[in-house]
Amino acid sequence: MVMNGFIQRKIRHYKKNFTLAELSGSLGDLGTLVPLMVSLSLSGQISLTSTLIFGGLWNIVTGIKFGIPMCVQPMKTIGAIALSSQMTRGEIMGAGMFVSGVVLFLGLTRTIHLVNKYTPSAVVRGIQMGTGLTLMTKAGTELLFKIETPWGGSGWKWYDNYEWAILWFCFVFFLYHQRRIPTAMIIFVIGLIFAIIVVYTSTITTQLPAPGFHYPKPVIPTPSEFVHGMWKAGLGQLPLTTLNSVIALVALIRELFPENKTTTVSVATCVGFMNFTGCFFGSMPFCHGSGGLAGQYRFGARSEVSIMFLGVCKMVIGFIFGKSFLGLLQYFPKSFLGVMLFVSGLELAMAARNFCKPTDSQATRNRNFLIVLVSGGMLITFKNDGVGFVSGIVAYICLWLDARRRGVDFERDGSTVESRDPTRKDYGSFDQHPVRVDGPSNSSVPELVSGHKQALPQYHDDEY
């Protein structure tokens, strides 16, 4: 009876959340997935069948486990290095297994919890901002700038051009606060229709989607492929997965879904198990990511129903069409995907706006914003999450040492107390003797006097 009641509640929950907004939100991360998946599949470096099936499977599993629209996205550093250096399928699988093995170890030993506990929140926000801006840049460099005839001419392509990109850009932001209108679904469906028209009317010989039964085939990397994959791409992916796919992701979950109890340990463990299954069958290495969650949330996803629906679709396409579906995906308009990827990056970068608490002094705000800029700026400059993380930590430690030298109390959680006197109102920057702000009792400057409370800013779903 208890089990029957649980199942009935779950069914009612799924029916309630099976809405157009959720279905639209499930497509919010396709701007990251589709270009990388198509490129690696065309070169034979991954199995499209296994990628669709195992990607869909983990969409469903993580949706059930975490109860939120937890994204499943490719390990981007491994994908980018694999394309640029022509890595073999075994090397790609070895790189994915190495990263997952380390992250799984951090999760099972709960060491990842210590990394999260002692990482300043401003550094995490900087990683989010840097990653978001990187995704926005990639929307241009890897998609929009690669449109062959963007502004007309003799070879102008009616289905993929800058005119469509501008139209969809305006469409998304005109309806930015209208969650009930599935903008991502509208863009994706029209793009898919365009791709179908092009594939079936094109004179270029291409493999058309053919129904049948397709299944994953084992791929076991040799020891040399494992080592080469680890050195070529695994080490570069490791900090990105640890910081963005675990620590920054959990920070974003706590902001978007405060009632959710997802921990860094559970996310790290999940990432580990994902690739110890899929990579043995040639699947693209997968992880979670704060950018994917931000994109899905922006386009309407609020529950696990969105990604479970996406997972079912992936698995159906994988089993029925397999690699033959590639002929359709490679003609999906870049102008459509570029806009979707840009908005996903924008949503992640916006999370950095909450880099301090409303009750923090101006000195604390200035210091935290400085660390956010250092972390995000170094990440963008060197295109490496690890460099951004280390730079933010170094800046944080240097500011802490400077505070000790000047005799200023510098709390580890990010709140700098300029004075032990609770009646003193200090709003200076990094000066040892900040300027005291005196004014009428109804001043708009936040009160730091004990017993006074400042209203927290309210962010609603339609405003985020």
Per residue of the chain (464 residues), what is the pLDDT tens digit?
Answer: 566 777 888 888 898 989 988 988 998 888 778 878 888 887 889 999 999 999 999 999 999 999 999 989 888 878 877 876 788 999 999 999 999 999 999 999 988 888 877 888 888 888 888 888 988 888 888 889 988 876 777 778 899 999 999 999 999 999 888 767 778 888 888 998 999 898 888 776 677 788 889 989 898 889 999 998 898 888 878 877 888 889 889 989 999 999 998 999 999 999 999 988 899 999 999 999 888 898 899 888 999 999 999 999 999 999 999 988 888 888 889 999 889 888 878 877 887 887 887 778 888 888 999 999 999 999 889 877 778 888 999 999 999 999 889 888 776 554 333 334 444 444 333 344 444 434 444 433 333 333 333 333 343 443 33
Is the separation of the CB atoms in 419 and 437 below 8 Å?
Answer: no
Is the separation of the CB atoms in 131 and 239 below 8 Å?
Answer: no
Q: Minimal CA–CA distance to 458: which of 385, 355, 358, 388?
A: 358
Which residues lie below 8 Å from residue 250, measured CB to CB, with a gap of 6+? 116, 262, 263, 264, 267
For residue 187, count other CB atoms closer than 10 A to its CB.
27
Q: Encoding tokens for residue 358?
A: 């409303």
Give the C-alpha separation, 350 to 370, whole Å.
Answer: 16
Helical pair 89-108 and 76-85, crossing angle rounded to 10 deg: 160
Q: Encoding tokens for residue 304?
A: 């696990």
Give the C-alpha separation, 28 to 66, whole Å.
Answer: 18
- Give the burial class of 464: count Cβ atoms within 10 A of its Cβ; 0-12 exposed, 13-18 middle, 19 or more buried: middle
Give the C-alpha separation, 450 to 32, whole Å.
Answer: 47
Is the separation of the CB atoms in 422 and 409 below 8 Å?
Answer: no
Helical pair 235-242 and 89-108, crossing angle rounded to 10 deg: 40
Give the C-alpha separation, 241 to 418, whole Å.
Answer: 36
3-state SS, residue 32: helix
Q: Encoding tokens for residue 215?
A: 């299944």
Q: Encoding tokens for residue 268?
A: 């790290």
CA-based R_g, the chain, Å: 24
Polymer length of the chain = 464
3-state SS, residue 70: coil
Q: Encoding tokens for residue 74?
A: 């490719």
Give the pLDDT score at 450.
36
Q: Encoding tokens for residue 411?
A: 């709390």
What is the residue whose two structure tokens read 């099976």? 18
> Is the Cα dihedral 337, 338, 340, 345 positive or negative?
positive
Which residues lie below 8 Å from residue 260, measured CB to CB, with a gap of 6+? 66, 67, 68, 253, 254
Identity at 206, one-letter amino acid code: T
Which residues lie below 8 Å from residue 285, measured CB to CB, with a gap of 6+? 74, 75, 78, 79, 92, 93, 95, 96, 99, 100, 237, 275, 278, 279
